[in-house]
Amino acid sequence: MRFAAIISSLLATAATAQPPAQAPDRWHQEAREIYREAVNTPTVQGRGQVPALAEALARRFRAAGFTDVTIHPYDVVRPDDHTAALIVRWPAAHPSGRKAMLLMAHMDVVEARREDWSRDPFELGEADGYFYGRGTGDDKMGVIAITTALLRLKAEGFQPDRDIIVLFTGDEETGGRGAELAANQWLDTSQIDFALNGDAGGGAFDESGHLLGFGIQTSEKIYQDYTLTATNPGGHSSRPRPDNAIYALAHTLDRLEQYRFAPMQNETTRAYFAHRATTADPALAALIRRWLANPDDGAAADAIEASPTETGLTRTRCVATRLAGGHANNALPQLATANVNCRIFPGVDPATVLATLREIGAPDHVSVEPVEVAHPSGPSPLRPDVVGAFTAAVHARHPGAAIVPDMSAGATDGLYFRVRGVPVYGVEGSWIVTPIDERAHGRDERLPVRAFDEDLDHWTDMIRRLAR
């Protein structure tokens, strides 16, 4: 998950013109070597390569003088699906009494096939001012920026006044189990003040070289699946009964399609939409201003939600994603089921969503059960220290850039820490040109070389500012 709302919502046209990157110094050179090593390791689920990358990174941390470096092996879905997480602790040199700062990113990537790409996705390439390869953006950039920043700060003799903990997980794209284990077993979340996530946030230029802004992700919707089940005594299909499990389920799904949860706003989405009102086309901007002026204006919120760039940002959304039913062509169905996937607005109790779905199913006696019980997580507050450090780091390279709080409609590893009460901030400092560089999870994923270099300094600046 990367470059979510800000990218998808800030579209533009015309030709690109970025200033050329500067010649890399020692740290930027070393970062390129680690980046190459990381991209060239195909850390896709099922290929068993994440532990190799974790080992390679661990070696670099140890060589730089970090003594508390641990690799946690774990399985993703099947027991033979080995992956690993890396945890590095840098204890405070001069304890200030402040709790630890967690820096997180993920080492795994989405599958990429050679025949789908115009080049080898697992061989870092450089052309036309871009780095190419699977994970160049999502999320090996985050891994390399955090790693290089710590190696550099250590070499420069930086003395943190709080513990710094690094967590690189190995299954963000497929399971999020590493983050769940880290938040519940490997780390003591009561000792963590906040987390910075390299898997969210980031900036966007339009194709004419105009900077649209940098997002700071403070909020994620909660992922929750529900099973809808219709049962029936069934019988011979030559003698149809008035009631039928497939029809009952279909009628319920029909009502679900029409249903809309109540629109909602929070601190993050209000700030996001306030900025959006200055960048959207006039019709959408007018709707946004109407809704911000009157949060009870449901018609305005519905119209905003219907705009493809804003879908999922105004409320809880539920949608049918799988369907099964019946057992023979010549038998009345005894069972029909559907999976309904909900993305719950932060702060909403999943029990209220369950109650609503049960109401929708009740007229047809369709039962509704959660697949796993979700834990509600609120949006992280816009803390002045974190927002200030992010803003200063962005403005060091892009003076005056708009800083836009962002709620992801999807979920990242950060969710498991928010659930445990740890505020999490997506604070990437790299950027892309939109829409031409929006290739995360897709073909010919790439990142501007200049964005790579800037992100290394961005993370170094933020860590320095927040740990002294």
Q: Nearest approach, Cβ of 201 to Zn ion (angstroms)?
A: 11
Minimum Å gap between C-beta 327 and Zn ion is 40
109 or 344: CB nearest Zn ion: 109
- Minimum distance between the CB of residue 384 and Zn ion, rounded to whole angstroms? 27
- Helix then strand then coil, % of the chain, to nearest 5: 35, 25, 40
Considering the complex, state which of residue 2 and residue 439 has its C-beta at the smaller distance from Zn ion: 2
Nearest Cα neighbor of 104 from 179, 187, 184 is 179
Q: What is the DSSP letter of 191?
A: G
Of 415, 424, 413, the residue nearest 218 (C-alpha): 424
Q: Which of 199, 461 has the CB closer to Zn ion? A: 199
What Cα–Cα distance (Å) separates residue 445 from each residue in 6, 33, 109, 124, 458? 18, 19, 11, 11, 22
Q: How far is the CB of 122 from Zn ion (least distance, A)?
A: 17
- Quick one: 2 or 28, whose CB is closer to Zn ion? 2
3-class SS at 297? coil
Contact call for residues 22 and 453 (beta carbons, < 8 A): yes
Nearer to Zn ion, 28 or 134 (CB): 134
- Minimum CB–partner distance for residue 142 and Zn ion (Å): 8
> What is the separation of C-alpha 98 from the centre of its chain, rounded to a whole number of angstroms?
27
Q: Which helix (H) or strand (E) segment is 84 a member of?
A: strand 82-90
Tell me the closest approach of the beta carbon of residue 5 to Zn ion, in angstroms: 15
Q: Which residues contact 240 (CB under 8 A, 6 or more apart)?
A: 332
- Shortest spacing between CB 138 and Zn ion, in angstroms: 4
Q: For Zn ion, which is the closer residue by CB, 30 or 138?
A: 138
CA of 321: how far to CAs of 85, 333, 340, 341, 375, in Å? 30, 20, 6, 6, 21
β strands within 361-423, DSSP E = 367-370, 403-408
Select 108 or 364, whichever has its Cβ closest to Zn ion. Answer: 108
- At its nearest, how many Å lie between Zn ion and the CB of residue 199? 4
Specify the residue, 136 or 356, whose C-beta has the smaller distance to Zn ion.
136
In the complex, least distance from residue 106 CB atom to Zn ion, rounded to whole angstroms? 6
- Alpha carbon distances (Å) from 79 to 70, 76, 178: 21, 7, 14
* Tokens coding 1: 């998950």
Query: Would you tell me which residues interact with Zn ion (CB under 5 A)?
Result: 1-2, 138-139, 199
Q: Which one, 4 or 88, has the nearer CB to Zn ion?
A: 4
Evaluate whether 409 touches 313 at the Cβ level (below 8 Å): yes
Two tokens, residue 98: 């402040």
* Residue pair 77/174 in contact by the 8 Å Cβ criterion: yes
Q: For residue 225, what are the β-bridge partners? A: 341
Task: Kindly tell me the burial class for residue 26, based on how many C-beta atoms sit within 10 Å of its own C-beta (0-12, 13-18, 19 or more).
Answer: exposed
Residue number, 229 or 408, with CB nearest to Zn ion: 408
> What is the smallest separation between the CB atom of 4 and Zn ion, expressed in angstroms?
10
